[in-house]
Structure 1
Amino acid sequence: MTHIKFNQSPVPRTFGGLVEDILNGGFNKLVKDDFLTSDFFTTYPPVNIVETPEAFLLEVAAPGFSKEDFKISAAEKTISISAEKKEAVKNESDKQVRREFNFKSFKRSFSISDVVDANKINAKYENGILKVTLGKKENNQDSPKEIVVE
């Protein structure tokens, strides 16, 4: 199974532009604009992929979601995992003093090989980790073959 890579880095700046930003807006503005307010770190959740003799295991770190927020679909040679958090009902009488976290939607897609059996895909969400098991087809390994050097 291979991972489809995304390039979501901010637009590269010239050295002169960086120096000008630091001198005019200060280093705090530069860091805030590039890393804290943009989706630099929060665009895609981190994923671990493990292969066992029986299956591929995907572990998606997605804390704060519920199992109803996830949508997983498998089509041809791709599996897509997405999540969208519904906005909580706000009480108008409560005044929010500070808000440091929020939940963003995401979608990740992975290429899957022919050895994955679509009928053996299951998912479980617990403790902020979505665990997707992609079972392998039975008897998919070719018998070892000896190659004669001529």
Structure 2
Amino acid sequence: MTLVRWNNWQQMNSLHRQMNRLFDDMLVPSTLIERNLPRVPAAELQETEDAIHLKLELPGIEAKDLDVQVTQNAVSIKGERKSETKTEEKGRTVTEFHYGKFQRVIPLPAHIQNTNVTAEYKDGILNLTLPKSEQEKNKVVKVNLETPAA
């Protein structure tokens, strides 16, 4: 008889992976993941002295299918993908449709003036310019360099 050491952490890791797959499939069907369609749009955030520039990659989505909301602290993007591929070979037509809603909330590193946001959407790229609030531009923090008493 051979004794095998039971590793409960291995069982927990296996359960964790299975739960992640379950929730991933609930949010986005695995067929869409296999086709390399991103679940949420890729984002690039750049901060300058006067503004925050946010660039989002939204290929194949029309502007009318997007809902962009901006607060002083975050940007929320909601949308719906409607993708269709059509192939014809040897007199046979094959059409595939891919639909799916997505939402992403991007926290901002500074407070902004959400009433002065400008947006440009071209070729599946959304560029947002988020001007910083005057408080953030002039914000100076004094650092206390005193050593604590021992």
Normalised to the residue count of structure 1, the TM-score between the two structures is: 0.57
Would the alpha carbon gap of residues 148 and 105 (structure 1) be closer, same or farther in structure 2, given more than 3 Å must change? Answer: closer
Amino acid at match of 1:97: V
Match of 2:94 among 90, 93, 97: 97
Instruction: Flag the 1:98–1:146 CA change in 2: closer, same or farther, 3 A.
Output: closer
Partner letter of residue 59 of structure 1? K
Deviations 1:77-116 (A, max 9, x none): 332111124688xxxxxx74243x7353211012235521
Which has the bigger relative contact order, CA under 8 A and spacing at least 6?
1
1:142 pairs with 2:139: yes
Whichever structure has more strand as a proportion of its residues is: 2
Instruction: After TM superposition, list the pairs within 5 Å mapping 1:1-150 onto structure 2.
Output: 12-13=17-18, 37-39=31-33, 41=36, 42-75=38-71, 77-85=73-81, 96-99=93-96, 102-112=98-108, 115-140=111-136, 141-143=138-140, 149=146
Q: Which runs of 5+ in 2 are unaligned?
A: 1-15, 19-28, 85-91
Q: Residues 96, 123 of structure 1: CA spacing in aligned structure 2 closer, same or farther, 3 A cutoff? A: farther
Higher helix share: 2
Residue 53 of structure 1: how far off its partner (Å): 1.2
| Percent pairwise identity | 24
Instruction: Give the Cα separation in 1 of the matches to 2:120 and 2:45.
Output: 15
| Contact 2:60 2:83 (8 Å CA) reproduced | no
Q: How many residues align?
A: 112
- Counterpart residue type for residue 135 of structure 1: P
* Aligned counterpart, 1:5: none
Q: Secondary structure at the match of 1:115?
A: coil
- For the aligned residue pairs, the C-alpha RMSD in angstroms reads 3.3
Q: Helix, strand or coil: the match of 1:105?
A: strand
Tell me the CA shift for residue 132 of structure 1: 1.6
In 2, the alpha carbon distance for the partners of 1:102 and 1:86 equals: 6
SS at match of 2:64: helix
